[in-house]
Structure 1
Amino acid sequence: MPKSPRDEIDAQILAELRHNARISLAQLGEKVLLSRNAVRQRIERLERDGYISGYTIKEAAGDGIATVNAVLLIHRHDRMRGSDVIAGLRAIPEIATCDVVSGELDLIVRVEAPDAARIQEIWRQVSEFPGVRDITTALSLSTVIDRQVLR
């Protein structure tokens, strides 16, 4: 199996399915700007290529699904005109949250990825954005409090 999906649309489809595996093909098509039939064909290809090897239930606590979480602390060259960095982050489906913060930092980004290799790919991609000056990355070792509501 290849290390990453063929294109950004495949990555978006996978991210949406991770979030809600029961999403309808029509709703998924609206999110990725494709027809229902095109989404169905892509999902079938992702299944054939091994990106989707099964479907599961995500329980509210202790679901056992292995993911790697990281926080990227990003400094931009220009805080006031750094919207290009945020636009680039929006295009990465594994970006769970992005906060603009006060103080020395500019952005705090939480990443949820299937493995550390994907975190590294995202770090490399973000570090190449023209407006990024520096990134500090912290990998989560364990989550001891999680108050996020399942959507």
Structure 2
Amino acid sequence: MDRASLDRIDQGILAELTRNARISHAELAAKVLLSRNAVRQRIDRMERQGYIQGYTVVAGAPGQGLVSAFLMVYRKDRVRGADVIAVLQAIPEVVLCDVVSGDFDLLVRVEARSLERIQEIWEQIAATPGVADTVTAMTLSNYVRRAAPLMPT
């Protein structure tokens, strides 16, 4: 999706939703100088077209009460490993799963309330049919954490 194909108003709507995904349609309409109904229709259209692919909740203050880890997952079959991805999608604490180049196949970020929960998730992933091996790196500190920026126009 190329955001450059969006008009100035759609880009403004995306910018406001990026700042606050819970903003009301009425408040958003006032910011972009449209009616509430027009804003709702534009949001619906951008959702259908894939410009808006979801809304995220980050519970609590960043870094407080969450333990995070990166799991590098090696699949037995890189081409037919969709079953592994399906298992990862079903785990609510998995906040990122990317297919990557290099030695391992998947980079998975897990954020959980406890180290014990990270352990349980690791055991579940390691026992998944189709997983050949895993390597885990615990997050010690988090210095940069932000939403992806909107592309400039």
Q: Same fold (TM over 0.5)?
A: yes
Aligned residues: 92
Check if 1:83 corresponds to 2:94: no
Contact 2:63 2:142 in 1 (8 A): no
Rg (Cα) greater in structure: 2
In 1: Cα distance, 2:129 partner to 2:76 partner = 9
Question: Shift of the alpha carbon at 1:66?
Answer: 1.4
> When the two structures are superposed, what TM-score results if normalisation uses the length of structure 2?
0.56
User: How much identity, in percent, do the aligned residues show?
Assistant: 51
Q: How does 1:34-49 map to 2 (within 5 A)?
A: none
Question: Shift of the alpha carbon at 1:141?
Answer: 0.5
Aligned partner of 1:112 in structure 2 is 111
Aligned partner of 2:121 in structure 1 is 122
Question: Shift of the alpha carbon at 1:145?
Answer: 1.1
Question: Shift of the alpha carbon at 1:63?
Answer: 4.9
Aligned partner of 2:66 in structure 1 is 67
1:92–1:73 CA distance, 2 compared to 1 (3 A): same
In 1: Cα distance, 2:118 partner to 2:130 partner = 20
For structure 1, the 5+ residue unaligned runs are 1-19, 21-56
Letter in 2 for 1:69: S
Secondary structure of the residue aligned to 1:97 is strand
Secondary structure of the residue aligned to 1:78 is coil
In 2: Cα distance, 1:124 partner to 1:135 partner = 10
- Computed over aligned residues only, the root mean square deviation of the Cα atoms, in angstroms, reads 2.1
In 2: Cα distance, 1:64 partner to 1:136 partner = 23
Aligned partner of 2:95 in structure 1 is 96
Question: Shift of the alpha carbon at 1:65?
Answer: 2.5
Secondary structure of the residue aligned to 1:112 is strand
For structure 2, the 5+ residue unaligned runs are 1-20, 22-57, 149-153
In 2: Cα distance, 1:76 partner to 1:112 partner = 22
In 2: Cα distance, 1:107 partner to 1:58 partner = 25
In 2: Cα distance, 1:63 partner to 1:106 partner = 28
Letter in 1 for 2:144: I
Question: Shift of the alpha carbon at 1:58?
Answer: 5.6
> When the two structures are superposed, what TM-score results if normalisation uses the length of structure 1?
0.56
Runs of 4+ aligned residues of structure 1 deviating over 3 Å after TM superposition are none
Contact 2:72 2:136 in 1 (8 A): yes
Check if 1:143 corresponds to 2:150: no
